[in-house]
Every structure is written in structure tokens, then in C-alpha cells.
């Protein structure tokens, strides 16, 4: 060990130690590992989608197979109403569903954290107003609100991400606000203030790092809800009509009578994918919560 | 979607001025009215926010009866403040008819309320009874085989889009009616009940997952309390401790959360009614958004919001009656 270790090196070593401890705790939860495995599989499918299934198979004009075909060697999951292979749609749908879920969560996390930290940090009128805004979004029924917004904005990939992101942040804001309130009372905050730290410095350097770990667990749970929301909105026809997602496949199955024709291969696979991915995110989120929040270890 | 708000924490800032039970009621009432006012503001401005001619948003390139068009033009040509005041005066009486049905919006919405109340009410009733029972059993024997099994099934059900469950039921049970509320030449109660089986089951299973999770968590919270220790120390049997002491206290937050989670319930109703062509507000939302039929969509959104806010208020007030600590603090 060199005696003149720089501050940055100490910080790095500490971070590495924390990560190692975290991974050690995480590994103890079998369900968390199962969640990671399922998610890993779908992430790989999403990344290598163009290799697994030729993207030209998504083009309606280039589909050669007959419509509504039962599973066969060429099309293991049959074909849709345009003669496209459902397996191809499913593989490329993985990309869309994960992308929308993650992107919407990023938006929700940014808005939720910003509003939550401010609501917790400032008191008086600012907090009342910010809390009133998040309460309003919590109370208003999610799906009708999302439907109204998506209808006005029009169906496109960016719009569905915005709609889900803008409607799912209040839970994060509430959690962050509660955490900030407890951090605010700690002695080092007083010290920082006495040394002349600005509000911005206090919020970003002292409050955020203490709040982030719990937010991470919550964020993972938010992704699962965002993916469910994407499926629901796409099923209702509010998703991007040019980019198939799992909800899009279900929408097409529903509107072309797959249920009356008994085409289980059209309906079942996208739903199973949704269940598996949502379940994976839920399991990971719960494990993170258990690892990061020791208080929960005893009660739940 | 799983919203778990603790009642009574919403307007802490004003609590200093309004204390006691009457203060609590006034605070809750004014909060509800404020929320509804913002729904109105949102509903009005959202559809006028976009650049370009707003008429285009209403008719989306389709033909509209000339009289309707003239009315819409006349309305939109007024100053925005005047339009807003007119809207506030009677938010459900849109100047123009529903663009899809060409009838006054209020009439159409009114017809559709009852089927939704019937469908969703039945599903909530079944789901809350079963969910509470499962939640109690899981929490009381935490870590048992029953608890582990129930928790895994709950997690899977929770991850399931309820409309997909409905679609799978339709394929799996083709002998049940595929949709609607009655068979054309039959309108008996038995026939309606027969049509309700699949949609109610799909909704109830997903709600059940939510309710049993809430009940389990809230009973687990109670299990650590000192008064249970005391009840046991008095020599009460385990079963009595649970039935007389733990469960009633755990039921309080569960019941309020069930009332408060109406937003979650509405989301399920929209998609499941669509799958089963159940002629309620959910299917109407689908029909309105597929158009899109903007006047109708605005009215449905307003109605759903009013429903949620009213139930929230009922939950808050009930909670204060059952648990006086809430309003006196």
C-alpha cells in the first residue's frame, strides 16, 4: 500500500467494497437471482433481435406466408393477419416493450426525484404546492389520464414514452420526499449550511446520494409497471402503429378475432412474455428493497 | 398502479389552522373540491393546448354534420376565458354531440354506468373477501407453505395484464358466451350472470392479488405491536388473538386502500370490458378513443375522476369515524 493514497483512490476502494458487500447480500436471495436470469434472457433477445429474426419479416408488404396460419416448421408460432411470422413480431416486440418501459421510467425517475427532493428540502409554500401536484397525479386514475393524453398527442413511440413517464412519477416523488425529510435533519446538513453551501450544493451533494439507494429499488418496480402500462396502451391502439410491441400483437390478435378462431398461438406468447418480464423486474425490485433497506428484513 | 397512500397525510401544512373533527372534514372536503377543479382545468386546456386548428382534433378529417360544425366553430371562436367559464358552468353538456354516436354525451354516458357498476362491484366484492382471507392466512403463518404459495401466485397474477387473462379464458372456455351482457332473446338474471362469469373472474383474480398483498402487509405490521403480546399474556387462545385483536386493526387500512384504489380498478374495467364487449363505461372509453371521439372522451375522463375523488373522500371520512386518532391528531 502506498502511504500517499489520494482521496479519489480511497473513494474508489470504498465504493468497490460497498458493491462487493451489496452483491454478496443480493446473492443470498434466490428469487432475486431468478429475476436477473429471466431479465438477462430478454435483454439478450432484445439486443440480438435483428440476428434472431430478419427485420424484413416485420414488413407487411414483404410477407409471403398465408394469413392466420397455425404453427408449422417455418413459422413456429404461426402467422398474423398479414402473414407475418408471430415469432418475428415477438422477438422485435421485446425490444419495444423493454425500450418503452426503461425510457418511461427514466422520465418518471427524473421528475419524481427532482420534485421529491425539492418538496422535502424546502418547507412552507413550496412543499405544499409540490405535494399538491403529486397528490393530484396519484389520485387521478392512471389509465383514463393516459388515454386522454395519448389521444391528444397522437400515437407514436416518443409520445407513449412521454405519456407513461409523465403519469408514473408521483410514487417516486413521495418516497424521495419522505427520505429527504429524514436526511435534512442530520447534523452534517447543518454543518454544510454553516459552511455556506448553496441549496443546490446541499441537495445534489448531500441529499441525493443518501436518497438514491432506496430510489433504485423503487425504480426497478416502476419499470415493471411501465411495461404493463405500455402493453395496456398498445392493446388499446395507442402505441406506435409502425413498431410492433407485445401489446401491439395482442391488439392485432384481438381485433382480427384470434379468440373466436381459437388461435392460442397468437394470444398466449406475448402475454407470457409480459408476465415473465414484469415478474423479473418485481423480483429484482423486492430483492433490492430487502438488501438496501435493513428495516424490512425483520418485518417482511 | 398499486397506490398506497396513507390517509390523513395529504394536507399537513394547513393542519395548524384546522384542527379537530370538523376541521378534518373541512380539510378533506376542500381538498376533494380542489382536485376536481384541477381535473376540470386539465380537461379543458389539454384539448386546446395543441398548435393548429382545434377543429381538426375533433373531427380528425371525418365529416361532421354542418350544424354541429357551426356550433363547434362558434364555441371555439370565443375568447378562451369565456370558453372556460362556459365549460365550468356545465362540464358534461358539451356544445357538440359525441362525434361517433351523434347524440348528447351525457345521455350516452348515463346509459353505460350501470353495467360497469354491476361488473366491477361483483368483482371487487369477490376479490376483497377472498383477498382478505388469503392475506390473513399468509400473514398469520408467515413463511409457511400456504404463505409461500399464495405469495408466488399473487406475484404472477399481479404481473398479468387483466385483459390478456380474459382473452385466454375466452380461448380456454369456448362454451361461455364470448361477449355482451345478454343473449338477444333472453334477458333473465341467470343469462346475465352466465355472461358475467368470465369477465368477473378475470377482474377478480387480478384485484385479488392486489388486495391480499395489502391485507398481508397490514396484518404483518400489526403483528409486531405490543397489545398482541398483552393479549397473549392474558392467556387468550391464538385464534382469539387473531380474530378479536389483530385482524380488526389490520382491516382498517385494507378497507380504505380498497376504496382508494378505485383508479386501479377502473384501469382493469376499461380493458376487460373491451375484451368481453361488456356495454359499460370501459367499452365506451375504448369506442371513444378508437374514433377518437373527443367530447365523449372528455366526459368519461371527468366522470372517472369524479368517481375516484368521491370514493377517496368517503374512505377518508370513514377512516376518521372508525379510527378517531386520524382526525384528532
Q: Which residue pairs from B14-20 have beta carbons closer than 8 angstroms and sit at least 24 positions apart in sequence?
A: B14/A128, B20/B327, B20/B328
Give the chain B residue whose CA is nearest to the CA of A224: B159
State whether B83 and B157 are in the same domain.
no
CATH number, domain at B172?
Answer: 1.10.3720.10
Strand partners, A227: none
The H or E element that residue B327 is part of is: helix B325-328
Cell numbers that stand for A253 in this block: 390478435
Does any CB of chain B come closer than 8 Å to the CB of residue A235?
A: yes
Q: Which residues of B touch A139 (CB under 8 A)?
A: 35, 263, 308-309, 312
Does any CB of chain A come closer than 8 Å to the CB of residue B272?
A: no
pLDDT band at A3 (very low <50, low <70, confident <90, very high): low
Using DSSP, state whether A79 is helix, strand or coil. Answer: strand
Does any CB of chain A come closer than 8 Å to the CB of residue B32?
A: no
Q: Which residues of A touch B286 (CB under 8 A)?
A: 236
Considering chain A, what is the average pLDDT of its residues?
85
Can you give the pLDDT at residue A264?
A: 84
The closest alpha carbon to A98, from A243, A227, A198, belongs to A227
Asked if omega into B292 is within 30° of 0 (cis), the reply is yes
More confident residue, B129 or B321: B129
pLDDT band at A137 (very low <50, low <70, confident <90, very high): confident
Assess if residue B7 is contained within a domain: no
What number of other Cβ atoms are within 10 A of residue B67's Cβ?
10
Mean pLDDT of B117-132: 92
Which of B34, B155, B308 lies closest to A141 in CB terms?
B308
Alpha-carbon distance B66 to A170, whole Å? 44
pLDDT band at A208 (very low <50, low <70, confident <90, very high): confident
Burial A24-56 (b: 16+ CB within 10 A, else e): ebbeebebbeebbebbeebeebbeebeeebeee
Helix boundaries (H) for A140-263: 142-153, 157-167, 170-184, 187-194, 199-201, 208-235, 246-255
More confident residue, B67 or B239: B239
Give the chain A residue whose CA is nearest to the CA of B293: A151
Cα torsion B119, B125, B126, B131 to 10°: value is 130
Cell numbers that stand for B128 in this block: 376483497
State whether B83 and B206 are in the same domain.
no
Three-state SS letters, chain B: CCCCCCCCCCCHHHHHCCCHHHHHHHHHHHHHHHHHHHHHHHHHHHCCCCCCCHHHHHHCCCCCCHHHHHHHHHHHCCCHHHHHHHHHHCCCCCCCCCCCCCCCHHHHHHHHHHHHHHHHHHHHHHHHHHHHHHHHHHHHCCCCHHHHHHHHHHHHHHCCCHHHHHHHHHHHCCCCCCCCCCCCCCCCHHHHHHHHHHHHHHHHHHHHHHHHHHHHHHHHHHHCCHHHHHHHHCCCCHHHHHHHHHHHHHHHHHHHHHHHCHHHHHHHHHHHHHHCCCCCHHHHHHHHHHCCCHHHHHHHHHHHHHHHHHHHHHHHHHHHHHCCHHHHC
- Residues B255-307 have pLDDT tens digits of 888 887 887 888 888 999 999 999 999 999 998 888 778 888 888 888 899 88
State whether B63 and B184 are in the same domain.
no
In the predicted structure, residue B9 carries a pLDDT above the cut 80: no
Using DSSP, state whether B231 is helix, strand or coil. Answer: helix
Q: Do B221 and A238 touch (CB under 8 A)?
A: no
Cβ B111 vs Cβ B98: under 8 Å:
no
Q: Which residues of B touch A300 (CB under 8 A)?
A: 217, 220
In the predicted structure, residue A82 carries a pLDDT above the cut 50: yes
- Residues A44-75 have pLDDT tens digits of 999 988 888 777 777 777 777 777 777 777 77
State whether B113 and B26 are in the same domain.
no
State whether B80 and B121 are in the same domain.
no
Q: Do A140 and B156 touch (CB under 8 A)?
A: no
Among B228-242, B274-288, B302-316, the range scoring the smallest mean pLDDT is: B228-242
Chain B, 165-194: which have a CB under 8 Å from a chain A CB? 165, 167-168, 170-171, 174, 178
Domain boundary among B34, B56, B89: B89
DSSP A6: -
Does any CB of chain B come closer than 8 Å to the CB of residue A275?
A: yes
Determine which of A122, A142, A147, A274 to mutate to test the interface with B (most B C-beta atoms within 10 Å).
A147
* Structural domains in chain B (count): 2
Chain B, 122-141: which have a CB under 8 Å from a chain A CB? none
In the predicted structure, residue A300 carries a pLDDT above the cut 60: no
pLDDT band at B200 (very low <50, low <70, confident <90, very high): very high
More confident residue, B66 or B214: B214
Q: Do A139 and B309 touch (CB under 8 A)?
A: yes
pLDDT band at B235 (very low <50, low <70, confident <90, very high): confident
Assess if residue B6 is contained within a domain: no
Can you give the pLDDT at residue A29?
A: 85
Can you give the pLDDT at residue A38?
A: 93
Assess if residue B13 is contained within a domain: no
DSSP A122: S
In the predicted structure, residue A298 carries a pLDDT above the cut 50: no
State whether B123 and B217 are in the same domain.
yes
Which of B39, B159, B297 lies closest to A140 in CB terms?
B39
Measured at the CA of A248, the angle between CA B157 and CA A53, to 5 degrees, comes to 100
State whether B24 and B153 are in the same domain.
no
The closest alpha carbon to A149, from B46, B266, B287, belongs to B46
- Residues B67-79 have pLDDT tens digits of 777 777 777 777 7
DSSP A273: H
pLDDT band at B52 (very low <50, low <70, confident <90, very high): low
Residue A96 burial (CB < 10 Å; 0-12/13-18/19+)? Answer: buried
Chain B, 288-327: which have a CB under 8 Å from a chain A CB? 289-290, 292, 294, 297-298, 300-301, 304-305, 308-309, 312
Q: What is the ipTM of this complex?
A: 0.86
Assess if residue B53 is contained within a domain: yes
Alpha-carbon distance B58 to B69, whole Å? 10
Using DSSP, state whether B37 is helix, strand or coil. Answer: helix
Assess if residue B97 is contained within a domain: no
State whether B44 and B114 are in the same domain.
no
Chain A, 110-149: which have a CB under 8 Å from a chain B CB? 124, 127-128, 131-132, 135-136, 138-145, 147-149
Considering chain B, what is the average pLDDT of its residues?
81
Assess if residue B181 is contained within a domain: yes
The string of DSSP letters for B127-165 reads HHHHHHHHHHHHHHTTTSHHHHHHHHHHHHHHTS-HHHH
Alpha-carbon distance B157 to B224, whole Å? 28
Does any CB of chain A come closer than 8 Å to the CB of residue B38?
A: yes
Q: A224 to chain B nearest CA, in Å?
A: 8
Percent of chain A with pLDDT over 90: 29
State whether B70 and B196 are in the same domain.
no
Cβ B9 vs Cβ B19: under 8 Å:
no
Residue A195 burial (CB < 10 Å; 0-12/13-18/19+)? Answer: exposed
In the predicted structure, residue A297 carries a pLDDT above the cut 60: no
Cell numbers that stand for A286 in this block: 423486492
Which of A138, A148, A264 lies closest to B3 in CB terms?
A138
Determine which of B9, B109, B171 to mutate to test the interface with A (most A C-beta atoms within 10 Å).
B171
Domain boundary among B61, B89, B117: B89
Q: Which residues of A touch B46 (CB under 8 A)?
A: 148-149, 152
Cell numbers that stand for B289 in this block: 378513443
Q: Which residues of B touch A299 (CB under 8 A)?
A: 220-221, 224
In the predicted structure, residue B212 carries a pLDDT above the cut 80: yes
Q: Which residues of A touch B165 (CB under 8 A)?
A: 271
For chains A and B, CB pairs below 8 A equal 150
Domain boundary among B62, B89, B116: B89
Assess if residue B73 is contained within a domain: yes
More confident residue, A23 or A70: A23
Does any CB of chain A come closer than 8 Å to the CB of residue B159?
A: yes
Mean pLDDT of A95-119: 92
Assess if residue B41 is contained within a domain: yes
In the predicted structure, residue B60 carries a pLDDT above the cut 70: no
Among A163-172, A249-258, B39-48, B107-116, the range scoring the smallest mean pLDDT is: B39-48
Structural domain harbouring B51 = 19-89
State whether B174 and B284 are in the same domain.
yes
State whether B75 and B115 are in the same domain.
no
Which of B57, B159, B301 lies closest to A144 in CB terms?
B301
Q: B309 to chain A nearest CA, in Å?
A: 7
Which of B11, B35, B297 lies closest to A151 in CB terms?
B297
Determine which of A148, A254, A287 to mutate to test the interface with B (most B C-beta atoms within 10 Å).
A148
DSSP B324: T
Can you give the pLDDT at residue B96?
A: 67
Start-to-end Cα distance in chain A: 43
State whether B160 and B50 are in the same domain.
no
In the predicted structure, residue B12 carries a pLDDT above the cut 60: no
Using DSSP, state whether B65 is helix, strand or coil. Answer: coil
Amino acid at each position: 500500500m502506498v502511504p500517499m493514497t489520494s482521496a479519489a483512490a480511497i473513494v474508489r476502494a470504498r465504493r468497490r467494497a460497498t458493491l462487493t458487500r451489496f452483491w454478496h447480500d443480493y446473492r443470498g436471495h434466490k428469487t432475486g437471482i431468478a429475476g436477473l436470469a429471466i431479465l438477462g434472457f430478454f435483454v439478450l433477445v432484445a439486443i440480438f433481435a435483428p440476428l434472431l429474426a430478419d427485420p424484413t419479416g416485420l414488413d407487411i408488404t414483404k410477407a409471403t406466408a398465408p394469413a392466420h396460419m397455425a404453427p408449422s416448421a417455418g413459422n413456429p408460432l404461426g402467422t398474423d393477419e398479414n402473414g407475418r411470422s408471430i415469432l418475428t413480431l415477438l422477438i422485435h416486440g421485446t425490444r419495444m416493450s423493454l425500450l418503452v418501459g426503461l425510457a418511461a421510467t427514466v422520465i418518471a425517475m427524473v421528475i419524481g426525484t427532482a420534485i421529491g427532493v425539492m418538496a422535502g428540502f424546502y418547507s412552507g409554500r413550496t412543499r405544499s404546492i409540490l405535494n399538491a401536484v403529486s397528490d393530484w397525479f396519484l389520485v387521478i386514475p392512471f389509465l383514463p389520464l393516459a388515454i386522454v393524453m395519448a389521444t391528444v398527442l397522437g400515437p407514436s413511440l416518443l409520445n407513449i414514452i412521454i405519456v407513461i413517464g409523465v403519469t408514473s412519477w408521483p410514487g417516486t416523488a413521495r418516497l424521495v420526499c419522505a427520505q429527504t425529510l429524514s436526511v435534512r435533519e442530520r447534523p452534517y446538513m447543518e454543518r454544510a449550511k454553516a459552511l455556506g453551501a448553496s441549496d443546490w450544493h446541499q441537495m445534489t451533494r448531500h441529499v441525493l446520494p443518501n436518497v438514491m439507494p432506496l430510489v433504485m429499488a423503487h425504480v426497478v418496480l416502476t419499470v415493471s409497471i411501465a411495461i404493463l402500462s405500455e402493453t395496456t396502451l398498445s392493446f388499446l391502439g395507442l402505441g406506435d402503429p409502425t413498431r410492433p410491441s407485445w401489446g401491439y400483437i395482442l391488439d392485432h390478435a384481438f381485433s382480427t378475432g384470434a379468440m373466436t378462431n381459437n388461435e392460442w398461438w397468437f394470444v398466449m406468447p406475448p402475454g407470457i412474455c409480459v408476465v415473465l418480464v414484469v415478474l423479473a423486474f418485481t423480483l429484482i425490485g423486492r430483492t433490492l428493497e430487502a438488501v438496501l433497506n435493513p428495516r424490512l428484513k425483520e418485518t417482511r | 398502479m398499486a397506490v398506497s397512500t396513507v390517509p390523513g397525510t395529504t394536507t399537513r401544512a394547513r393542519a395548524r389552522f384546522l384542527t379537530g373533527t370538523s376541521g378534518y372534514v373541512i380539510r378533506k372536503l376542500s381538498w376533494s373540491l380542489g382536485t376536481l377543479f384541477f381535473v376540470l382545468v386539465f380537461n379543458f386546456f389539454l384539448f386546446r393546448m395543441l398548435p393548429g386548428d382545434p377543429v381538426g382534433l375533433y373531427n380528425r378529417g371525418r365529416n361532421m354534420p354542418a350544424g354541429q360544425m357551426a356550433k363547434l366553430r362558434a364555441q371555439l371562436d370565443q375568447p378562451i376565458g369565456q370558453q372556460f367559464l362556459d365549460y365550468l358552468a356545465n362540464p358534461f353538456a358539451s356544445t357538440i354531440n359525441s362525434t361517433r354516436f351523434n347524440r348528447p354525451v351525457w345521455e350516452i354516458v348515463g346509459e353505460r354506468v350501470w353495467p360497469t357498476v354491476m361488473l366491477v362491484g361483483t368483482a371487487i366484492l369477490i376479490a376483497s373477501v377472498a383477498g382478505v382471507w388469503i392475506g390473513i392466512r399468509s400473514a398469520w403463518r408467515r413463511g409457511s407453505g400456504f404463505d409461500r404459495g399464495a405469495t408466488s401466485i399473487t406475484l404472477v397474477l399481479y404481473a398479468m395484464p387483466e385483459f390478456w387473462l380474459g382473452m385466454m379464458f375466452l380461448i380456454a372456455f369456448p362454451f361461455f358466451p364470448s361477449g355482451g351482457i345478454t343473449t338477444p332473446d333472453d334477458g333473465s338474471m341467470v343469462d346475465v350472470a352466465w355472461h358475467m362469469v368470465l369477465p368477473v373472474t378475470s377482474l377478480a383474480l387480478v384485484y385479488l392479488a392486489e388486495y391480499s398483498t395489502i391485507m398481508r402487509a397490514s396484518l404483518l405490521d400489526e403483528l409486531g405491536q405490543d397489545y398482541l403480546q398483552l393479549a397473549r399474556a392474558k392467556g387468550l387462545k391464538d385464534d382469539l388473538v387473531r380474530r378479536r385483536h389483530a385482524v380488526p386493526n389490520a382491516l382498517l387500512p385494507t378497507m380504505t386502500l380498497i376504496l382508494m384504489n378505485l383508479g386501479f380498478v377502473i384501469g382493469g374495467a376499461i380493458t376487460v370490458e373491451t375484451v368481453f364487449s361488456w356495454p359499460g363505461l370501459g367499452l365506451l372509453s375504448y369506442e371513444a378513443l378508437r374514433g377518437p371521439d373527443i367530447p365523449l372522451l372528455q366526459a368519461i375522463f371527468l366522470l372517472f375522476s369524479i368517481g375516484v375523488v368521491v370514493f377517496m373522500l368517503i374512505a377518508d371520512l370513514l377512516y376518521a369515524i372508525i379510527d378517531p386518532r386520524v382526525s384528532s391528531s
